[in-house]
Structure 1
Amino acid sequence: MFTYETADQKEVRRFRIAQFNGRMATVKSGDSTITGIVRSVMEKESSIPPRWTITIIPSQPKAKAASLRPAPRIRPFAEDYF
């Protein structure tokens, strides 16, 4: 599990929406990037300004799907037909 702390309300809202919808979320922290399912979003009530602790379960990003359209066929002697 990966724990991330932030004070950005827009980012917290994005994580809550991802958690509610069961979607994967991506966090960039320094030079590392973590992608996974959001497990919890908890507010630290005693801090000013408000801060949130977000727990993410890392998972492998989905592999890119193969193209649905086949590659164009090359006709090496196409000029012979004209």
Structure 2
Amino acid sequence: MFTYETADQKEVRRFRIAQFNGRMATVKSGSETVTGFVRSVLEQESAIPPRWTITIIPSAKEEPKALRPGSRIRPFAEDLY
């Protein structure tokens, strides 16, 4: 699990929406980037300005898929001319 702390309300809203919809969220903290599912968003009530602690469960890295297969016509184009 990855724990992230922020005071940015827009970012907290984005994490809450991702958690509610079951989507993955990406956090970039320094040189580290973590992508995963949001487990919890907790407000620290005693902090001024308001701060939130976000817990993310990192997902396994997936290999990027090819968008579409390569052209099949290209190897035979020389035969047409």
TM norm structure 1: 0.86
Residue matched to 1:39:
39
Matched positions, count: 79
Residue matched to 2:50:
50
Runs (4 or more) in structure 1 with deviation over 6 Å come to: none
Deviation of 1:73 after TM superposition, in Å, equals: 1.3
- One-letter code aligned to 2:56: I
Unaligned 5+ segments in structure 1 are: none
Residue matched to 1:71:
71
Deviation of 1:70 after TM superposition, in Å, equals: 4.5
Deviation of 1:6 after TM superposition, in Å, equals: 0.1
Residue matched to 1:7:
7
Query: Deviation digits for residues 6-49 of structure 1, max 9, x if unmatched?
Result: 00000000000000000000000000100000000000000000
Secondary structure in structure 2 of the residue aligned to 1:26: strand
- Provide the rounded CA distance (Å) in 2 between the counterparts of 1:9 and 1:61: 28
Larger Rg: 1
Aligned-pair Cα RMSD in Å: 1.5
Unaligned 5+ segments in structure 2 are: none
